[in-house]
Structure 1
Amino acid sequence: MPAMLGQNQYGKAESRVVRITRNGAVHHIKDLNVSVALSGDLTATHLTGSNADVLTTDATKNTVFAFAKEHGIASAEQFGMRLARHFVTSQEAITTARIRIEEYVWERIPPSDTREARHSFVRANRETRTAQITYDGERWQIISGLTGLTVLNSTDSEFHGYVKDRYTTLQETRDRILATEVNARWRHGATDDAGVAGADWDDVYARARDCLLQAFAETYSYSLQQTLYAMGTRVVDRCPGIDEIRLSLPNKHHFLVDLEPFGLKNDNEVYFVADRPYGLIEATVLREGAEAGLAVL
């Protein structure tokens, strides 16, 4: 039987754009990594090589830079929405645009005297903010998130009562370090123009991040699965605009060092960290009645 063209898309990946906003002597910085993917009626270019409906990937890259200048970058979500709408409405052959964005945070360097730190920054040693915006001309799907948010509880975590077979060597513990690197994506419930217009994406991000941190800190944990569910539930319960969150939590194992050969007692004080292999706990938490819409991380 003859071959058939399936789902396809094209675009420019990882256009790194830095936008400086100068309010007099005080500067502000936005640092994004933007990937554009376009899909639609592009059969001809695959089957015959005709480029009549192809907007070049170089043009999509240039659009990212031009929009950063012309419109500024209020937030990753807002910038991605502006780009997605532009590509779908300006190109007849394009029916869907997906914009993926990573944002890198910079903080002001504290001044050494009484002068305000106005234009000196240090790359923050913190998580990377993410956004994915998809638009088909009528409906939006906006997925925000973060990667690399490293957290640790030095107590209030136990792990015992698990299945034991002939290969089990892990000892039960009633007091352990619980550490993980939070990777999360959350789907906003609003999908039409009225629902997404005027949304304060920075505020929603800050609230979701705070919920994740607060739930991690406040949950007495008997398993990382339990902690994950508490974190996801906190976001869904306290962020009304979020319908679904998917969390991927690698367990950053901390093991007690055996100090007995040195005549020393290790009273939950000295640990070594094993970076691999590691347990990986993943799950999705949904608002009641919401349909799942997040792909696996």
Structure 2
Amino acid sequence: MSALGPARYGKDNVRVLKVERDAKTGIQTVVEMTVCVLLEGDIETSYTKADNSVIVATDSIKNTIYITARQNPVTPPELFGSILGTHFIEKYNHIHAAHVNIITHRWERMDVDGKPHAHSFIQPGAETRDVQVDVVEGKGISINSAIKGLTVLKSTGSQFWGFLRDEYTTLKETWDRILSTDVAANWQWRQFANVAEVKADVGKFNAAYEAARKITLKTFAEDVSASVQATMYKMGEQILAAAPLLETVEYSLPNKHYFEIDLSWHKGLKNTGKDAEVYAPQSNPNGLIKCTVARAGQKAKL
């Protein structure tokens, strides 16, 4: 005998670009997203009985994303995800949970002759602003916001020494090294009862994102890092202090290595220690450091 376990389905990789036009100023703004919506509910028979009558077609889900984007603001993405997820559990009686993931691709306004252009933009890299919104009937709205793909590097101001040494250790201690990582940071908001509560705090989502990004960059640049662990904890502490509605902050930081190259074999050319200028970037293996920072008295979920 067998039984169906947890199941959900939906539409993934729905690409959306929305252009907002200010008729008075002529200034336009673009927002590009990749959206995924997965639904849960009384859909067991579609798996076990080949009963398609309980399936909201994934094509309908895709069209709903487009229509909702046309009829509602798409920024901040936390609000758009809440509106979109709530639509599905209110529209279909047998759907009890909607899981919305939004990846917002970063576009920056182009500068032309030293002035921001009204309708031209540049994409600076792979950095995205991600949001996971889970709308569950009877439980409310859970929102997790994130920064992904923010690549940073500093050429000094990082140390690593005093670590445990045993018969497996070959790594040398260093008091000055290159530090680079691809930032993946996310922060969990307190539970919201409904879309009205999300709207009441709508201004705090962009503020938290801007604060988290600024704190991450500033701390990375200015901290004389004893380790990636110590630096990421400082980041999490500051973000929690800046945004009172957050419950936890989580970081996942790969340590992207750049190794010195000993060139002394070539006519005694110095290129190690304080004389190092040319390094070999490494793709793998790499260190990977993670942590969750929670408010005092609140247990972090690992």
- Shorter-chain TM-score bucket reads over 0.9
**For the residues of structure 2 that align with 1:238 and 1:22, how far apart are their CA atoms?**
32
The number of residues matched between the two structures is 292
**For the residues of structure 2 that align with 1:137 and 1:268, how far apart are their CA atoms?**
59
The correspondence of residues 272-283 of structure 1 with structure 2, limited to 5 A, is 272-283=280-291
Contact 1:190/1:241 (<8 A) preserved: no
Q: 1:196 aligns with which of 198, 221, 224?
A: 198
The correspondence of residues 1-297 of structure 1 with structure 2, limited to 5 A, is 2-24=1-23, 25-112=26-113, 117-125=117-125, 127-138=127-138, 139-193=140-194, 195-198=197-200, 199-200=202-203, 201-262=205-266, 263-266=268-271, 267-292=275-300
Contact 1:190/1:196 (<8 A) preserved: no
Contact 2:208/2:242 (<8 A) preserved: no
Alignment gaps of 5+ in structure 1: none
Three-state SS of the structure 2 residue aligned to 1:197 is helix
Percentage of identical aligned residues? 37
Contact 2:79/2:199 (<8 A) preserved: no
Three-state SS of the structure 1 residue aligned to 2:36 is strand
Deviation of 1:195 (Å):
4.3
Alpha-carbon distance change, 69 to 195 in structure 1, aligned in 2, over 3 angstroms = closer
Please list every run of at least 4 consecutive aligned residues from structure 1 whose deviation after the TM superposition is greater than 4 angstroms: none
Contact 2:82/2:198 (<8 A) preserved: no
**For the residues of structure 1 that align with 2:197 and 2:120, how far apart are their CA atoms?**
37
Deviation of 1:13 (Å):
0.5
Deviation of 1:121 (Å):
1.5
Contact 1:35/1:101 (<8 A) preserved: yes
Could you say what the CA RMSD is over the residues aligned between the two structures, in angstroms? 1.8
Moved more, 241-250 or 166-175: 166-175
Alpha-carbon distance change, 239 to 113 in structure 1, aligned in 2, over 3 angstroms = closer
